[in-house]
Amino acid sequence: MQRYSSALVILAISLSAAGVAQDTRTVTEPVIPAFCTKLDAHLTSINDGTYNTLSAADESKLDTDRIQKAIDSCGKGKAVALQSHGASNAFVSGPLELREGVTLVVDKGVTLFETLDPKVLEISPGSCGVVSKEPGRGCKPLISVSHVSGAGIMGDGVIDGRGGENILGKTMSAWDLGEHALKENGGQKVSRLIVADHADNFTLYRITLRNSPNFHVSYNAGDGFTVWGVKIDTVHRIANAPHPLSRNTDGIDPGNGSKNITITHSFFREGDDNVAIKGGAGGVTNMSVIHNHFYWGHGMSIGSETYGGVSKIRVTDLTLDGTDSGIRIKSMGTKGGLVHDVVYDDICIRNSGRPLDITAAYAANGPVAGNSPPTFRDITLRNVSISGGGKILFDGYDHDHRAQINLDGVFLTDNTNPDVPYTYTFDHADVVFGSGGSNLQLPTGTDATINGTPAKGTPYSCADRFVPFPTE
């Protein structure tokens, strides 16, 4: 068993002290607690050519009860550790619930697999592992953190939701159900990996989350959420497949009345939003996204729900490498509200289809009108360097509900290369150029204004900023 605590180094300077954070807490590197219990693995993972998984004979050997009993009997401030035992390195589980002040630790080399049996996860008989127009989720999450404080999930191991593997008794996966739900205008009734609700001071530290059936982490109505040194690593596209198979696999989704959130020193690649700030009921405020790397996915997103408001957001030192969108704020007339006081600083974007994607017309088939229109105001992009072409959208809702963006040192670093064209949408928007300069060539647009003259400036350097996704 790896010994953690003695090897940890706490940062001398907190993120809050760095002058860029909006999280009002003093956030330092987490410490893995002392263990109340160590559980040995009884199963051994295999590779089926695409995934690390379990043999069919091991699917029924659930570890749910012994893990849950260990969590239930653990004292506050302590941790339950899942560890390897000889060649055995895997656990398989149905729904688990964290308790007040208790941390689940998955040791290096160990994988906690979600069961493929929908009956184990179903909320009501037959509700899980189907496409349905019935309301509700249909499936319990693998790990619930509900109305408790000080809980955590840590360690250098893996939690694998197995979203690309066939559901037990079916010839399709959870991700396949997502495709069918889209075609049938129904709901994809599959599980989420981690759902935290009213969970103050919840921590994810050093853990790898992989292949969730749906969202990897959903955090709602909590005060204090730290994501530090986390990897989210989900298959995006399988060779020769006609479409991405991991639809709806968002990385981290804070929403609905949550505040004081820090995401830092993390690496995300998945089939949907890398981070999606969902400003539904209660909104989201005081959030810092600092020192991170995103790869495939839909980028650093706000929305599409913004009706509860989103404010006091700082995104600093972020690379977006091959994301479908880069900096993204999305909403529509039925889900909109005020998004304001949002700053992006020291951002490197390359090979993104929509490197700057700020739109109130988010919908597959054009703008959606409604009685809850969005307004984007006091949105600042500072020291942003973009390469690889793509669409740039500054697209408000209407004359009274606009997108107001401050550009200060925003440069296309390959704008003279005809092989990487850039296109623009500029409607119901107001752009203010700052002293840092920009070379964006904004068109006249519809009901759009430009204030200030873009100076020449010097593009923010992205040399050595893009790094490979860490596989170890």
CA distance 297 to 204: 20
CA distances from 368 to 10, 205, 269, 304, 330 (A): 48, 39, 29, 12, 12
Catalytic site includes residue 298: yes
Q: Would you mind telling me the total number of residues written for the chain in this entry?
A: 472
Catalytic annotation, pick one of 200, 250, 272, 321: 272
Query: For 213, which DSSP code?
Result: S
- Provide the token pair at 202: 């919840």
For 459, residues 6+ apart whose C-beta sits below 8 A from its C-beta are: 385, 409, 411, 413
Q: How many CB atoms lie within 10 A of CB 231?
A: 20
Of 216, 291, 293, 298, the catalytic one is 298
In whole angstroms, what is the distance from residue 311 CA to residue 200 CA? 19
How distant, in Å, are the alpha carbons of 49, 295, 432 from that of 407? 47, 24, 6
The answer to whether residue 272 is catalytic is yes
Cβ atoms of residues 86 and 132 within 8 Å: no
Phi/psi zone of residue 28: left (φ > 0), alpha (ψ -120 to 50 degrees), beta? beta
- Our CA dihedral for 50, 55, 56, 59, rounded to 10 degrees, sits at -110
Phi and psi (nearest 5°) for 135? -70, 160
Q: Which amino acid is at 415?
A: N
Sign of CA dihedral 323, 324, 326, 331: negative
Return the active site residues: 272, 298
